Homo-oligomer: A and B are copies of this chain.
Amino acid sequence: MKTSIDCIPCFVRQTLEAARFLSDYPSVHEGVLREILRCLAGLDLDRPPPFVGQMIHRKLRELTGNPDPYRDARNRHNRLALQLLPELKEIVRTSEDPLKTAALLSITGNVIDLGAHGDLTEDEVRSSIARTFSEPSHIDIEHLRREMEKASSILFLADNAGEIVFDRLLIEQMPIERVIVAVRGGPVINDAVMCDAEAAGLQDLVKLVSNGSDAPGTILDDCSLAFQSCYRNADLVIAKGQGNYETLSNDEKNIFFLFKIKCQTVASHTGFKQGTNVLTPASR
């Protein structure tokens, strides 16, 4: 999807929040804000929103001099999710439809999409899990089940650290010998990179690949040629998180999006209400 001008105030707010999360220096906050305002003034709105996220966080890494400022947060989120993993597995195992339950839990993991929530607790995640099952959902599980049976290669595009442990529950319900999981190629916010997939233990289950890009989504022409080929060759893509939706929603591909709709702009684009948990193919 293209960037809406409604995304602009949100980018500005996010820039300031991230700058403050990452630095104690007002000069850094002001510097990054001015740079981003300058970039936004001339922004190509045909690019998807994660293009701006990439730009903001490159600038933040440059100005803070820290190549991976969210590393501690990612580690914390992975640990938190791993502590919950045994009880989550039990929820899936004892449920009527383990695939559907795992898909919903995977969306729940998206609550670990911090921004500033460095201090998320186990209890907060637990109540978020409880809420997920009563929230408005559109989970097109039978369609996914059919496509998974047919596909000889399935590419799962991960989203955030911590969340990737929740994704493991879903991946375990899939024909894992045919599954490849892709993570970001470089640190951006708390998006999962290779070491996060490994922290979630995914290397023992499936083949892992990096997409070669540091965008908080999947901007194909910014990804490595190896990843682009992997993407082209997949019979089925499962794209996790709103960033992957924003970057791939217009792509001609057998692709399912799995995410919580977090803002009104994406709600309008999908036709679902804000807050809905969705598992939906690209074209319904």
- Give chain B nearest CB distance to A189 CB in angstroms: 18
Identical chains bound together, number: 2
* Residue among B13, B35, B38 making CB contact with A38, cutoff 8 Å: B38
Interface string of A2-22 (1 = CB under 8 A from B): 000110110011001000000
Residues of A near any B CB (own CB < 8 A): 5-6, 8-9, 12-13, 16, 26, 29-30, 33-35, 37-38, 40-42, 45
- Interface secondary structure of A, over-half rule: helix
Nearest B residue to A19, CB-CB: B5
Q: Is the CB of B16 within 8 A of A6?
A: yes
- Among A5, A6, A30, A42: residue with most chain B CB under 10 A: A5
The reply to whether A12 and B16 contact each other, CB–CB distance below 8 Å, is no
Partner of A16, one of B8, B16, B33, B34: B8
Q: Which of A6, A26, A35, A37: most chain B Cβ within 10 A?
A: A37
- Contact partner of A34 (CB less than 8 A), chosen from B9, B34, B42, is B42
Task: Give 14 A-B contacts (CB < 8 Å), ordered by A residue.
Answer: A5-B29, A5-B30, A5-B33, A8-B37, A9-B9, A9-B12, A9-B16, A12-B12, A34-B41, A35-B41, A37-B40, A37-B41, A38-B41, A41-B41
